[in-house]
Amino acid sequence: MRGVVVTGLGVTTAVGQGKEDFTASLLSGHHAFGVLRRPGRSVPVGTDGSAISASFLGAEMAEPAMPGHISARTLRTASLSSRVALATLDEAWRDAGLDEADPARIGLVIGGSNVQQRELVQLHARYSEHPEFLRPTYGMAFMDTDLCGFCTEQFPIRGFAHTLGGASASGLLAVLQAVRAVQSGQVDVCVAVGALMDLSYWELLAFRAMGAMGSHRWADDPAAACRPFDLGHDGFVFGEACGVVVVEREGLRRHPAPYARFLGGGTAMDGNRNPNPSAEGEVAVLEAALREAGLPASAVDYVNPHGTGSPTGDETELRALRRAGLDHARINATKSLTGHGLTAAGAVEVVATLLQMREQRLHPTRNLVDPLDETFPWVREKAEPCQVGTAVSLSMGFGGISSAICLEAC
């Protein structure tokens, strides 16, 4: 992967829209957890007048500020996932100065599948009694490739565009795929988007039923619910998010200050449909990323982990980090501030890693009161200075997908 650098970033989350706002929120330990109130995320009231379930907790963003060149007509049929992708891509596009790049040599990878579920559920309910009035654009909107259509229509991306589904590893897999596309010469510049996964109450109910998402335990104290690597954890807490990473061939264009250079990456499958993680798979991708980077584990300064707050997931990840020789590196948990962005998480956490490398400061980990393992060098209540020359970021997804990437400051 040598010779591929990051030249642009974009990020939209509940704790910050735009990389400067997001950086400030990270370093101050800001959060936006509360009861989810977006229409379509509350279980409908039953015929007897009672709700099926209590409300769900999470972090929801404000409506994103849209670029001026995108028309109101375009936005009328754009889903929340599409609107957020457009706004976030615009920031990364301007950051990288891509107006001067050849459109035929720019590619796009959107990480995520089934990312518009809430809006589809609402649409089905709206037209259930009169399906003949369903708007024709539904024929495009129900497919995740609709995000590719929106993005390439509004930005001059003419090399290639496709979606890539890897559950909660999707965002990081999109970044890795973008790097491979540049490395192979398929394109000169590639944009990786970790798409906002817009959950409906159906997905929320299922995640809670399987024990992946947090229970009602913290219903009266939403701020305390998201607890990665803490003994009080009981599942992930959802957080709306989208991250965009622009990668390109080093030295191809004049760029004042690339964020970082890619050194290595790894992906692996556990051969397991179920959501339980595998330490073997996680160790394998860590070792693969370091091997491609040509680095010993001892050379890594910082690890940005998957860290969801799932009891099994957190414990497995710490075992994997120790077995891979990374238990010396500084560690924090971005999801303790943003919540779990699911398909977006991996890209958002690459953005968070790069912004911390730029600042040479690491953000705190909220609610880390009783760590699962005190011997890891945690960043806990406050942001801390740290000289980060090399960093590793991890993402895992349902279906036994593990992924890791190694970054070096330029």
**Domain residue spans of the chain:** 4-249, 262-409
Give backbone dihedrals phi and psi of 12, rounded to 5 degrees, phi first: -135, 120
Residues 87 and 83: their CA atoms lie apart, in Å, by 6
Neighbours of 131 (CB within 10 A): 8
Residues 217 and 76: their CA atoms lie apart, in Å, by 39
Q: What pLDDT, on a 0 to 100 scale, did the predictor assign at position 140? A: 84
- Tell me the per-residue pLDDT of 117-164, one tens digit each, with 9 for 90 and over: 999 999 998 888 898 888 888 888 889 999 999 999 999 999 999 999
Can you name the CATH fold of 262-409? Peroxisomal Thiolase; Chain A, domain 1 (3.40.47)
CATH of domain 4-249: 3.40.47.10
Q: What pLDDT, on a 0 to 100 scale, did the predictor assign at position 375? A: 97
How far is the CA of 201 from the CAs of 52, 81, 341, 389, in angstroms? Answer: 11, 16, 16, 42
Residues of the chain with pLDDT under 70: 1-2, 46-54, 255-256
**Residue partners of 400: CB distance under 8 A and separation at least 6:** 269, 270, 271, 272, 273, 274, 278, 281
Residues 401 and 274: their CA atoms lie apart, in Å, by 11
**DSSP element (H, E) containing 126:** helix 117-126
Residues 55 and 398: their CA atoms lie apart, in Å, by 24
- Residue 150 CA, chain-centre distance (Å), reads 20
Residue 268: both structure tokens together: 């692996």
Q: Do the Cβ atoms of 54 and 219 come closer than 8 Å? A: yes
Residues 142 and 233: their CA atoms lie apart, in Å, by 35
Closest to 83 (Cα-Cα) out of 67, 69, 102: 67
Give backbone dihedrals phi and psi of 380, rounded to 5 degrees, phi first: -110, -100
For residue 362, the one-letter residue type is L
Neighbours of 98 (CB within 10 A): 23
Q: What pLDDT, on a 0 to 100 scale, did the predictor assign at position 53? A: 53
- Tell me the per-residue pLDDT of 213-258, one tens digit each, with 9 for 90 and over: 998 899 899 999 999 999 999 999 999 999 999 999 998 877 668 9
Q: What pLDDT, on a 0 to 100 scale, did the predictor assign at position 52? A: 52
Using a cut of 0.85, tell me whether the model's pTM lies above it: yes
Residues 410 and 389: their CA atoms lie apart, in Å, by 8
